[in-house]
Amino acid sequence: MSCPAPIPAALTLEQVSWGSGILAPVTLTLAPGRVLGVLGANGAGKSTLLRLIYRFHKPQSGRVLLDGQDIHAMPARAVAQRVAAVLQEQPTDFALTVAEIVALGRAPHRRALAGPSAQDAHIVDHALERLSLHAFAARPFGTLSGGERQRVMVARALAQEPGLIVLDEPTNHLDIRHQLEVLRLARGLGATVVASLHDLNLVQGFADDLLVLKDGQPLAFGPVAQVLTPELIARAFGVHAHPRGPAQFDFSLFDDMQQERRA
């Protein structure tokens, strides 16, 4: 029994905004299978935008379209079958094993009162294998490290068979090895991906496109090489970026530069 590859979704934001000054209207189109990185300093509006995309919030204005359909005109179950979210903070007190957590990803696909099917069990097993989690399957979720828990939540998202995966700071609190591992795994799932990130140097090799926010305002959207320039980084983060390769930078504060000139 094989597991079909996910059918990546097309995502369109039409003048989407939320709150008073929290997120100004954002408009963009993300083609199926593309990976979008959302960048910005703390408080830029990244998490708010992601909550609108995975239907936690309803836009104050505008629409979020999934394959051309307004997600708020779709049944919640239908959205849950197509959109999965992996959040930056995971609870550690789940009284569930790793396998049971991953199996929760099948819930949107089961009929009311129906138990797991043989196909569900196969998909869960595939997700555990894909994320190298078979050795942890019987472990209580709360006993895992931060990196291991994040892999479990990505596996749960994979078991959901979504067309769109939303990742809110997926590398938060992870060491560099696990940061790279989680991003590699997310990119290889075959779905369309939207991920908020705080490390600009992790963007290269992960994202196809970037949306840069500052104080709730969209500054730029487009392919990584076109968007991630020293000038834009200065506007968005208030630091000077020193290029050291394609989409790779060293950073310094503007005050440090002024002190160096005076020295």
Does the pLDDT at position 92 exceed 70? no
Clarify whether residues 179 and 263 are in a common domain: no
Clarify whether residues 195 and 260 are in a common domain: no
How far is Cα 246 from Cα 230, in angstroms, rounded to an integer?
12
Give the CATH number of the domain where residue 153 resides: 3.40.50.300
- Considering only CA atoms, which of 195, 123, 194, 111 is closest in space to residue 155? 123
The model's pTM = 0.88
More confident position, 253 or 211: 211
Q: Which DSSP letter does residue 19 get?
A: T
Q: Residue 187 — very low, low, confident or very high, per pLDDT cuts 50/70/90?
A: confident
Clarify whether residues 240 and 185 are in a common domain: no
Q: What radius of gyration do the chain's Cα atoms show?
A: 19
Give, for 157, the enclosing helix (H) or strand (E): helix 146-159
| 244 C-beta neighbours (distance < 10 Å), count | 9
Residue 172 structure tokens: 């938060």
Clarify whether residues 118 and 145 are in a common domain: yes
Clarify whether residues 197 and 179 are in a common domain: yes
Q: Across residues 130-154, what is the average pLDDT?
A: 90
Clarify whether residues 113 and 182 are in a common domain: yes
Which of 43-47, 112-116, 123-127, 239-243 is predicted least confidently? 112-116
Sequence length of the chain is 263
On whether residue 62 sits in a domain, the answer given is yes
Helix (H, G, I), strand (E, B) or coil at 20: coil
Q: Residue 199 — very low, low, confident or very high, per pLDDT cuts 50/70/90?
A: confident
pLDDT of the residue at 263: 43
What residues make up the domain containing 260?
Answer: 229-263
Clarify whether residues 223 and 234 are in a common domain: no
On whether residue 35 sits in a domain, the answer given is yes
Residue tagged 């000139």 (tokens): 261
On whether residue 1 sits in a domain, the answer given is no
Domain count, the chain: 2
Clarify whether residues 185 and 247 are in a common domain: no
Does the pLDDT at position 205 exceed 90? no
Residue tagged 């090799």 (tokens): 205
On whether residue 243 sits in a domain, the answer given is yes
Contact 213, 44 (CB under 8 A): yes
Pairing relation of β-strands 164-168 and 83-86? Answer: parallel
Share above pLDDT 90 across residues of the chain, in percent, rounded to a whole number: 56
Residues pairing with 63 in the sheet = 14
On whether residue 4 sits in a domain, the answer given is no
Does the pLDDT at position 188 exceed 50? yes
Residue 248 structure tokens: 């790779």
Query: For 216, left (φ over 0), alpha (ψ -120 to 50), or beta?
Result: left
Clarify whether residues 141 and 113 are in a common domain: yes
Does the pLDDT at position 41 exceed 50? yes
Residues pairing with 165 in the sheet = 84, 193
Residue 4, φ and ψ in degrees, nearest 5: -65, 145
pLDDT digits (tens, 9 = 90+) for 244-260: 766 677 778 765 544 44
Q: Across residues 71-100, what is the average pLDDT?
A: 87
Clarify whether residues 74 and 194 are in a common domain: yes
- Considering only CA atoms, which of 97, 101, 69 is closest in space to residue 83? 69
Clarify whether residues 38 and 150 are in a common domain: yes
Q: Which DSSP letter does residue 107 get?
A: G
Q: Across residues 217-242, what is the average pLDDT?
A: 90
Give, for 228, the enclosing helix (H) or strand (E): none
Clarify whether residues 220 and 233 are in a common domain: no
